[in-house]
Amino acid sequence: MINLVIKPKPITKENFKKFGDMITTADIKPIEINNGYAKRYDGVVNLNTKKDNGDSTISIFSALKRSFPMKVDMMEKHPLGSQAFIPMKETIFLAFVAPEGDKPDLKKAEAFYTKILGCKTGNREEGKWVDVDFWGNELTLHQTSLKLPRERHDVGMGDVPVPHFGVHLKKEVYEKIKANIELNKINFIDKPYTRFKGTEFEQNTFFVEDPNGNVLELKTFEQ
């Protein structure tokens, strides 16, 4: 009979890696999501399940407790994948679901850029794509069923929606578009405000989304 003395020692990713992956958030920088109400730690473990260029991952979410009544102002859709959430401790969760919303519509997007923003169109393939003159830059709108995911990032002067694109405008153009958005009762993602006040970078800006959920930042440096 052989007696073995087993001495436990602290587990780390490094000393355990030859046996498998240790799930931990150590050394992983979280990504802020859901308008700052949660943090996501990606790539906490490797999964070898690739097929047809797909990918699998396990993430750990750290969420803030909500207060009630709670305003639900954002929902997600993942057309190319699925998600499963497993609570790490006993608590109460609320699950919000909704019917599928309107599919992206090329004609609605074109109307937004031409009638609301005042852009002109160029070449097109009917029902498939159309070029827009976005203040001297070519922006091509495509008919698709996909929408980009969206997060908010803290960039020092406040958090902003990411990804987004935008343009610097003359003050009169900026004011005209802002009034047109308000007149057509289109909701701002971030209402018009002034940032970097009192510096050479002072600007008036607002964020809005087109009918397909793409975020635009329109700003003017003219006061």
The CATH number of the domain where 132 resides is what? 3.10.180.10
Output the pLDDT for position 35: 78
Q: What is the pTM assigned to this prediction? A: 0.57
Q: Is the pLDDT of residue 73 over 90?
A: no
Range of the domain at 184: 106-220
Output the pLDDT for position 136: 93
Region of poorest pLDDT, from 62-71, 83-92, 201-210:
83-92
Does 143 lie in the same domain as 66?
Answer: no
**Domain-ending residue, one of 42, 74, 99:** 99
The mean pLDDT value for 161-166 works out to 90
Does 47 lie in the same domain as 142?
Answer: no
Number of structural domains the chain divides into: 2
**Domain-ending residue, one of 69, 99, 129:** 99
Q: Does 7 reside within a domain?
A: no
* 142-176 CB burial, b ≥16 within 10 A, e <16: ebeeebeebbbeeeeeeebbeebebbebeeebbee
Q: Does 112 reside within a domain?
A: yes
Output the pLDDT for position 24: 80
Does 189 lie in the same domain as 114?
Answer: yes
Cα radius of gyration rounded to whole Å, the chain: 24
Does 95 lie in the same domain as 39?
Answer: yes
Looking at per-residue confidence, does 6 or 201 come out higher? 201
pLDDT tens, position by position, 8-21: 788 787 887 777 77
Output the pLDDT for position 59: 80
- How distant, in Å, are the alpha carbons of 102, 197, 198, 207, 219 from that of 204? 32, 9, 12, 11, 5
**Partner residues linked to 218 by β-bridges:** 167, 206
pLDDT tens, position by position, 97-113: 777 766 778 999 999 99
Q: Does 205 reside within a domain?
A: yes
Does 115 lie in the same domain as 56?
Answer: no
Q: Does 126 reside within a domain?
A: yes
Does 128 lie in the same domain as 33?
Answer: no
